[in-house]
């Protein structure tokens, strides 16, 4: 902490090696270590500064996914950190408690930089998160769960794409927090899992091996109004969910990603097969101790949402998702696609009829999903969101408010978070003026 109260973090982007499999080393990238990065944490209202030093030997960036902040601090493709260079963004945290994350965003190479291991969580706290009786002992009953799929090839990650795998890279194993076949001993009745899909292309349908229900308490940008009891929650790349699960003495249960075939969310069998929707993985085993610390009941009300309801929207925009580009255009670094007025609310209608799954992420804002194919959204889409999954045949109407500082010269991004698609040009730029 600096004199004026600014909370300072140091992040060093570095190359390394990690023994994921016994006796076999894999070359990796990480922040302040060999793989992934430290969990950063700050409170609403706090000023933060991150001192980034890039020792990777090539240029990259660090983007704060889900964070409301000035465009020049966003860490998108316009804020490159050269090889051997440094960058020190600063901003004031001004949004509700949430599970955010950070990762590189160099145009054309994001998939590779994330796959090599550059990702970490950024948790925000506020008065509500302090007051609510939720599991909140980090690493004890409040666990970060960074889920990635990987494939090994000798001393390297195999990052290749298979023929017909149009979604991008799909691995054949999953890891949690950089660990294969993970399990976790837990000592409390209620366990909160902060799920982050940090995979580059794979969508997961999370649930427990015994189909026990869990409480969904938060989405990308923070708490829901009230907990929702679910048996499955689907997360596409970049999305987060906070869930609370009840454990019984001495038992084991497995957080699993289920095959999505039975849910029929992908319209097309081809994409289920080649887009990974048929796959099923054990993700994380929870092993309850022989004695469990009693937990307080979950509150029935969590918070008032701070996302716009679309009532006073001044403008409606439309985005058509195609692998060849959004609204018929490929990303161009020197072209601004949309100009929005600071302090206004807009509706953005996003449509995917492209015959393959896509998703849609908008920088700087947390939006509300107003409609999914003309219907009221399900509970997992009722909280603050910055990324939504759109399987083929989906149209979503979103409401978002742009209340950051104006900066006509520095764009924010919106894009498909299937990182291969993003790299190939499924991205556009907007400025707030
Ligand atoms: Cu998670 Cu534009 O990124
Ligand atoms: Cu982002
Ligand atoms: Cu896509």
Q: Which residues of the chain have pLDDT under 70?
A: 261-268
One domain for residues 91 and 161: no
Whether 63 maps to a domain, the answer reads yes
Give CA–CA dist 125/107, Å, rounded.
31
Nearest ligand to residue 426 Cα? 3
CATH value at residue 324: 2.60.40.420
E strand segments, 239-314: 240-246, 252-257, 281-293
Predicted pLDDT of residue 15: 98
Please work out, in degrees rounded to the nearest 5, the angle formed at the alpha carbon of residue 123 by the alpha carbons of 285 and 3.
Answer: 145
CB-based contact 342:403 (threshold 8 Å): yes
Q: Is 399 in a helix, a strand, or coil?
A: strand
The total number of residues shown for the chain amounts to 433
Residue ID of nearest Cα to ligand 1 atom 1:
65
Q: Which of 97, 125, 153 is the C-terminal boundary of a domain?
A: 125
> Both tokens of residue 182?
């993970």
Strand partners, 339: 431
Burial class (CB in 10 A: 0-12, 13-18, 19+), 133: exposed
Chain CA centroid to CA 398, Å? 18
Does 164 map to a domain? Answer: yes
Is residue 134 one of the residues assigned to a domain? no
Are 161 and 246 found together in one domain?
A: yes
Residue 136 lies in a domain: no
Instruction: Indicate which atom in ligand 1 lies nearest the CA of residue 103.
Output: 1
The span from the CA of 326 to the CA of 417, in Å, is 13
Residue 2 covered by a domain: no
Residue 132 lies in a domain: no
- Of ligand 1's listed atoms, the one at least distance from the Cα of 427 is 2
Of 293, 327, 352, which one is at a domain's C-terminal end? 293
pLDDT for res 268: 64
Tell me, in angstroms, the distance from the centre of ligand 3 to residue 230's CA: 27
Q: Is the ipTM of this complex over 0.90?
A: yes
Q: What is the distance between the alpha carbons of residues 252 and 210, in angstroms, rounded to a whole number? A: 10
Q: How far is the CA of 189 from the centre of ligand 3 (A)?
A: 39
Q: What pLDDT was estimated at residue 278? A: 84
| Residue 389: strand, helix, or coil | strand
Pair (118, 151) in one structural domain: no
- The DSSP secondary-structure symbol of 379 reads G
Task: Encode burial over 7-26: b for 16+ CB neighbours within 10 A, e otherwise.
Answer: bebebbbbeeebebeeeeeb
Calpha distance 364→366 (Å, rounded): 7
Same domain, yes or no: 230 and 285:
yes
Q: What is the largest CA-CA distance in the chain?
A: 60
Q: In what order do the strands lie in the sheet with 98-103?
A: 40-43, 120-125, 98-103, 63-65
CA 132 – CA 424 distance, rounded (Å): 43
Beta strands in 294-352 (DSSP E): 315-322, 325-326, 338-340, 344-352
Regarding whether 272 and 148 lie in a shared domain, the answer is yes
Residue with the nearest Cα to atom 3 of ligand 1?
A: 65
Residue-range definition of the domain harbouring residue 269: 142-293
Same domain membership, residue 270 and residue 153 = yes
**Residues 166 and 267: beta-carbon distance below 8 Å:** no
213: CA distance to ligand 2 center in Å? Answer: 30
pLDDT at position 277, please?
84
Residues 160 and 272 in one domain: yes
Q: 233 and 282 in one domain? A: yes
Assess contact for 43 and 2: CB atoms under 8 A.
no
The pLDDT of residue 183 is 98
Q: How many domains does the chain have?
A: 3
274 found inside a domain: yes
Burial class (CB in 10 A: 0-12, 13-18, 19+), 287: middle
The pocket around ligand 1, CB under 6 angstroms, is made up of 63, 65, 103, 105, 238, 361, 363, 413, 415, 417
C-alpha 428 to ligand 3 mean position (Å): 13
Considering the domain architecture, whether residues 409 and 278 belong to the same structural domain is answered as no
Q: In what order do the strands lie in the sheet with 281-293?
A: 183-188, 281-293, 252-257, 204-208, 233-235
Taking the C-alpha atoms of residue 307 and residue 401, their distance in angstroms, rounded to an integer, is 8
Domain boundary (77, 98, 125) is at: 125
Same domain, 155 and 112: no
CA–CA dist 182, 273 (Å, integer): 26
Q: Are residues 171 and 81 in the same domain?
A: no
363 CA: nearest ligand 1 atom? 2
DSSP letters for 368-413: EEEEETTBPPPGGGSS-BSEEEE-TTEEEEEEEEE-S---TTS-EE
- Render pLDDT for 36-94 as a digit per residue (tens, 0 to 9): 999 999 999 999 999 999 999 999 999 999 999 999 999 999 999 999 999 999 999 99
The position carrying tokens 């944490």 is 41
Measure the CA–CA gap between 317 and 326, rounded to whole angstroms.
12
Grouping H, G, I as helix, E, B as strand and the rest as coil, residue 162 is coil
Nearest to 153 by CA among 166, 171, 136: 171
Q: How far is CA 11 from CA 27, 145, 188, in A?
A: 19, 20, 32
Point out the ligand nearest to the CA of residue 203: 3
Task: Tell me, yes or no, whether 71 lies in a domain.
Answer: yes
- CA 198 to each of CA 119, 175, 248, 266, 391: distance values in angstroms, whole numbers, following the listed order: 8, 10, 29, 20, 18
Query: 414 CA to middle of ligand 2, Å?
Result: 8
State residue 374's pLDDT score: 97
- Same-domain status, 149 and 281: yes
**Nearest ligand to the C-alpha atom of residue 66:** 2
């Amino acid at each position: 902490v600096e004199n004026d109260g600014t909370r300072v973090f140091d992040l060093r982007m570095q190359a390394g090696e990690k023994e994921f499999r016994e006796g076999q080393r894999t070359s990796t990238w990480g922040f302040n270590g060999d793989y992934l990065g430290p969990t950063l944490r700050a409170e609403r209202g706090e000023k933060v500064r991150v001192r980034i030093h890039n020792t990777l030997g090539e240029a990259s960036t660090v983007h704060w996914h889900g964070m409301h902040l000035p465009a020049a601090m966003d860490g998108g493709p316009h804020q490159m950190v050269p090889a051997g260079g440094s960058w020190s963004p600063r901003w004031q945290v001004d949004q509700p408690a949430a599970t955010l994350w950070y990762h590189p965003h160099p145009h054309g190479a994001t998939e590779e930089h994330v796959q090599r291991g550059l990702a970490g969580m950024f948790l925000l706290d506020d008065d509500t998160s302090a007051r609510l009786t939720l599991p909140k002992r980090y690493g004890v009953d409040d666990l970060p769960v960074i889920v990635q799929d990987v494939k090994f090839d000798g001393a390297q990650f195999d990052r290749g794409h298979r023929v017909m795998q149009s979604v991008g890279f799909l691995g054949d194993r999953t890891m949690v927090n950089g660990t294969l076949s993970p399990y976790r001993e837990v000592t409390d009745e209620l366990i909160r899992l902060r799920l982050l899909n940090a995979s580059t292309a794979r969508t997961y349908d999370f649930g427990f091996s015994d189909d026990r229900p869990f409480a969904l308490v938060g989405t990308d940008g923070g708490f829901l109004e009230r907990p929702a009891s679910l048996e499955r929650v689907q997360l596409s790349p970049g999305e987060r969910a906070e869930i609370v699960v009840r454990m019984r003495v001495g038992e084991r249960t497995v957080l699993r990603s289920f095959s999505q075939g039975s849910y029929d969310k992908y319209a097309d069998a081809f994409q289920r097969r080649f887009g990974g929707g048929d796959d099923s993985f054990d993700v994380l085993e929870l092993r309850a101790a022989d004695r469990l610390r009693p937990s307080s009941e979950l509150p029935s009300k969590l918070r008032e949402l701070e996302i716009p309801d679309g009532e006073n929207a001044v403008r409606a925009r439309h985005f058509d998702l195609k692998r060849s580009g959004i609204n018929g255009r490929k990303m161009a670094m020197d072209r601004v696609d949309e100009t929005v007025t600071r302090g206004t609310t807009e509706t953005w209608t996003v449509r995917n009829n492209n015959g393959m799954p896509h998703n849609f992420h908008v920088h700087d804002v947390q939006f509300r999903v107003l409609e999914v194919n003309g219907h009221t959204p399900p509970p997992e889409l009722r909280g603050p969101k910055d990324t939504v999954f759109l399987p083929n045949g989906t149209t979503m109407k979103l409401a978002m408010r742009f209340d950051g500082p104006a900066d006509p010269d520095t764009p924010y991004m919106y894009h498909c978070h299937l990182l291969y698609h993003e790299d190939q040009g499924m991205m556009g730029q907007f400025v707030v003026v």
